[in-house]
């Protein structure tokens, strides 16, 4: 479930930790060991995990960065250094775009990043590009994001949730932005995903 990034208060470490998966049939959970101890510095303090459409990887954020872990929890790959720049050292993974690209926001701080347009990390060549350029949409439609998919965007603007991507934009009033949580269920249809990300 994606939390509203505009409502992050306090320390994200308080509400995060190593990743775990649960088998719904057996009700058994498994801690993904690669997120338990990062280079001898303790747990990843992961939050907002997103399964890859292929089901074999999970991308997640932590306090000021992002990483990817295989579904078995054996291999952790840091993504922050590929996403950040000198003028935007704070990064946050927003989700997958296809199975080969990770959508993210970046900025000087978390509050700065929220208002910046979405970017995409192409895992095959480890380059980043504007999501607006890849998706052929206006950059301002990719700011203030609460949730994202190739065909749908949910943004929080002026105490309203804007659900965009189809022919119509739906506007939902929000009483308290701190309690907004949105999860977009990814469709199996890949037609809106750029070829480089499929």
**Dihedral-angle region of residue 34 (phi above 0 means left; psi in -120 to 50 means alpha; beta otherwise):** alpha
Q: What is the pLDDT confidence band of residue 106, given thresholds at 50, 70 and 90?
A: very high
Q: Is the pLDDT of residue 23 over 70?
A: yes
The domain limits of the chain are 2-136
> Average pLDDT in the 57-74 region?
89
Return mean pLDDT, the chain.
Answer: 85
Q: pTM of the full predicted structure?
A: 0.84
Question: Residue 106 corresponds to which tokens in the numbers above?
Answer: 């970046």
pLDDT at position 144 is: 94
pLDDT at position 8 is: 47
Q: Is the pLDDT of residue 4 over 60?
A: no
**Which contacts of 124-132 are long-range, i.e. CB under 8 A and separated by 24 or more positions?**
124/100, 124/196, 126/82, 128/82, 128/83, 131/97, 131/103
**Higher-pLDDT residue of 89, 63:** 89
Give SS3 for 68.
strand
* CATH architecture, domain 2-136: 6 Propeller (2.120)
């Amino acid at each position: 479930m994606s939390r509203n990034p505009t409502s992050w208060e306090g320390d994200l470490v308080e509400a995060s930790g190593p990743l775990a998966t649960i088998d719904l049939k057996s009700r058994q959970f498994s801690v993904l060991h690669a997120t338990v101890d990062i280079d001898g510095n303790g747990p990843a303090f992961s939050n907002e995990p997103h399964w890859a459409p292929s089901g074999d990887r999970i991308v997640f954020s932590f306090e000021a960065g992002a990483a990817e872990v295989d579904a078995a929890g054996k291999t952790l790959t840091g993504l922050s250094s590929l996403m950040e720049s000198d003028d935007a050292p704070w990064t946050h993974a927003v989700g997958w775009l296809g199975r080969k690209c990770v959508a993210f926001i970046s900025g000087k701080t978390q509050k700065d990043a929220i208002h910046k347009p979405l970017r995409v990390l192409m895992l095959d060549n480890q380059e980043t590009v504007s999501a607006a350029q890849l998706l052929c949409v206006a950059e301002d439609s990719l700011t203030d994001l609460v949730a994202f998919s190739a065909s749908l965007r949910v943004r929080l603007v002026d105490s309203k949730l804007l659900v965009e991507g189809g022919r119509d934009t739906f506007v939902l009033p929000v009483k308290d932005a701190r309690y907004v949580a949105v999860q977009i269920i990814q469709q199996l249809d890949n037609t809106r995903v750029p070829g480089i990300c499929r």
